Amino acid sequence: MPLTLLISMLLAFAFSVSIAVAIGGSAMLGIALFDPDKLVLAPKEMFTAIDRFPLAAIPFFILAGNLMETGGISRRLVEFAKSIVGGVQGGLPMTCVLTCMIFAAVSGSSVATTFAIGSILIPALVKHGYPKNYAAALQATAAELGVIIPPSIPMILFGVSAEVSIGELFIAGFGPGLLIGGVLMVFVHLWCRRKGWGLHDGDGRLSVHRAALSAGWALLMPVIILGGIYGGVFTPTEASVIAVFYALVVGLFIHRELRFADLMAVLRKSVISSAVIMFIIANAGLFAFLITRAGVPDTIGAWLAEVLKSPGWFLFGVNAALFVIGMFIETSAAIIVLAPILVPVARHFGVDPVHFGTVMVVNLALGMITPPFGVNLFAACTVARISLDQIVRQLLPFVLVILGCLMLITYVPEISLWLRDLVFAAPAAVAPAIGPQ
């Protein structure tokens, strides 16, 4: 059965069948061919895959992101970020990265970040003389911080699939997120100086004081959400509801840029996005059930343990595989299918599962900006109104930068774990020499 599942799924991908239908269809075909009497299990396992309380956070975080975009919160965050870094050459691209870092702390979604921030900054970058394809590539790359800096929908999925603490995953995401955001800002600054771009990026910039006052309610949002989670006031799932309520109140009654007439369109957009993700999760859950029942995780785990003799080579092999997989399979589906397979092997090699989760999320986030199925690329191209082939050349330097950060995150576990250990007072993780040996 496993071979049938794999071949049918790859064939479906080759014929451009949607991710969810390809995964679910191959699972149904496998059951029908090898054990048709068990077809009744399909709807049960699909329902079981989404019948998990932490997954309720996904639609709420998506809704919160859309409310922020429509309610003027996103625009104020852009002005605040520009007031901090916009005064130097290349300040506008740096503003894009910094705004995505702040927006990520409440949205949990890279696609929501792409649309919310890109709809403001891509036209602004083009107006300041930046090539449109560069602006789109930058926005797509910076928006992947939306799934690395907590709260993060892929981290929620990893925690549920691998039975790892979502709170610990969230706190571990800060180090990698800050590292990638900082390196990206330095890179775009140096790149703009080399190209001669952005000499007048500071035009129209507000003072930090004025921008902070204007964005005060927006900046308070991540403080409430993350402070509530780590202060034990509410769970990550409950935090998603608080985010929606806060964005709704601020948009309707404080900024007054969100109208009651806008709510139906915002809700419709959020429902569609949430339904797509949940449909993928349901189908991936059925697929994962079948391969687990067939013993594939145990077989792969034993093979990896035999072939990859050290933690360093294991992490290198996993990174190489995930980089390729992320190009073709949506992040949520990849996590749900692969996390239960790989986490036991990571534990066998002494790799902390929280560290492994951050590595996996950062790696698969790369898939959001690599063709052919990079969702951030399609979102950025939609906002910029350009075709995918126009963005690829400008994208390559950004991919190399993220890959460099990924290697650091992989082989320096402290980047992910020091804050986790500090906040949760966890015993030091097993820390073998994990460089390739």
Residue 189 has pLDDT above 90, yes or no: yes
Spacing of C-alpha 64 from chain mean position:
16
* Residue 169's pLDDT band (cuts 50, 70, 90): very high
| Nearest in space to 358 (alpha carbons), one of 337, 343, 368, 345 | 343
Residue range 122-140: mean pLDDT, rounded: 89
Determine the pLDDT at residue 5: 75
Whether 93 maps to a domain, the answer reads: yes
Would the pTM of this model clear 0.85, i.e. be above it? no
Give the contacts of 343 (CB within 8 A, at least 6 positions apart): 162, 164, 353, 356, 357
In the chain, % of residues over pLDDT 90: 23
Task: Look at 46-60, 73-87, 178-192 and tell me which has the smallest mean pLDDT.
Answer: 46-60
* Residue 13's pLDDT band (cuts 50, 70, 90): low
* Residue 372's pLDDT band (cuts 50, 70, 90): low
Q: For the chain, what is the domain count?
A: 1
- Are 147 and 102 in contact, with CB atoms under 8 Å apart? no
Label residue 18 exposed, middle or buried (CB < 10 Å: 0-12, 13-18, 19+): middle
What does the alpha-carbon distance between residue 412 and residue 404 come to, in Å, rounded to a whole number? 12
Average pLDDT, the chain: 83
Whether 13 maps to a domain, the answer reads: no
Whether 219 maps to a domain, the answer reads: yes
Residue range 415-428: mean pLDDT, rounded: 77
* Residue 315's pLDDT band (cuts 50, 70, 90): very high
Whether 190 maps to a domain, the answer reads: yes
- Are 42 and 286 in contact, with CB atoms under 8 Å apart? yes
Determine the pLDDT at residue 401: 94
Residue range 310-331: mean pLDDT, rounded: 84
Of the two residues 218 and 379, the one the predictor is more confident about is 218
Determine the pLDDT at residue 226: 79
* Residue 64's pLDDT band (cuts 50, 70, 90): confident
What does the alpha-carbon distance between residue 63 and residue 134 come to, in Å, rounded to a whole number? 29
State in Å, rounded, how far the first CA of the chain is from the last one.
36
Structure tokens at 341: 């397979």
Residue 429 has pLDDT above 50, yes or no: no
Structure tokens at 427: 């015993």
Residue range 406-433: mean pLDDT, rounded: 77
Whether 337 maps to a domain, the answer reads: yes
Range of the domain at 309: 18-29+42-424
What does the alpha-carbon distance between residue 167 and residue 356 come to, in Å, rounded to a whole number? 15
What does the alpha-carbon distance between residue 265 and residue 20 come to, in Å, rounded to a whole number? 25
CA 412 vs CA 181, 203, 315, 432: distances in Å: 17, 40, 12, 11
- Are 204 and 91 in contact, with CB atoms under 8 Å apart? no
Whether 4 maps to a domain, the answer reads: no
Determine the pLDDT at residue 298: 66
Determine the pLDDT at residue 283: 82
Return the ∠ at Cα 71 (arms to 388 and 62), rounded to 5°: 55
Whether 11 maps to a domain, the answer reads: no
* Residue 301's pLDDT band (cuts 50, 70, 90): low
Whether 434 maps to a domain, the answer reads: no
Residue range 375-398: mean pLDDT, rounded: 82
Determine the pLDDT at residue 431: 42
Residue range 107-136: mean pLDDT, rounded: 83
Determine the pLDDT at residue 428: 42
pLDDT tens digits for range 387-414:
777 888 888 999 999 999 999 999 999 9
Structure tokens at 292: 């687990």
Helices (H), 35-162: 41-50, 57-70, 73-85, 91-107, 110-127, 132-143, 153-162
The CB density around residue 84, as the number of other CB atoms within 10 Å, is 15
Task: Look at 18-27, 167-176, 339-348, 368-377 and tell me which has the smallest mean pLDDT.
Answer: 368-377
Of the two residues 34 and 216, the one the predictor is more confident about is 216
Residue 430 has pLDDT above 70, yes or no: no
Residue with tokens 């709510």: 263
Backbone angles phi, psi at 264, to 5 degrees: -65, -45
Task: Look at 55-69, 151-165, 176-190 and tell me which has the smallest mean pLDDT.
Answer: 55-69
Residue 242 has pLDDT above 60, yes or no: yes
